[in-house]
């Protein structure tokens, strides 16, 4: 199992839990429930992707820095 997959497994519940605290009902027009759900889904997927890639880049950068100090 790769490290990046584990990062996705860790960040997914955290992002969904944090999005649960946001009241997005005031942003959308009345009776546009399906559009609000799709927006919520896409926002969640985008945040999961961005946060996972951020931590992955930090992980990869730390390996490069560690290799530089080993010379």
For residue 50, the enclosing domain spans 3-19+35-69
Residue 59 lies in a domain: yes
Report the domain count for the chain: 1
Residue 26 lies in a domain: no
Residue 28 lies in a domain: no
CB-based contact 12:48 (threshold 8 Å) = yes
Residue 24 lies in a domain: no
Residue 57 lies in a domain: yes
In order along its 71 residues, the chain shows pLDDT tens digits of: 688 999 999 999 999 999 988 887 788 888 888 988 899 999 999 999 999 999 999 988 887 766 667 66
Residue 27 lies in a domain: no
Q: What is the pTM of this model?
A: 0.80
């Amino acid at each position: 199992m790769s490290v990046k997959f584990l990062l996705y497994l860790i960040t997914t519940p955290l992002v969904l839990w944090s999005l649960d605290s946001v009241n997005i009902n005031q942003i959308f027009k009345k009776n546009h429930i399906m559009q609000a759900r799709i927006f919520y889904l896409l926002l969640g997927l985008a945040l999961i992707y961005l946060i996972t890639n951020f931590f992955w880049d930090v992980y990869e950068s730390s390996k490069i820095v560690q290799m530089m100090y080993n010379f």
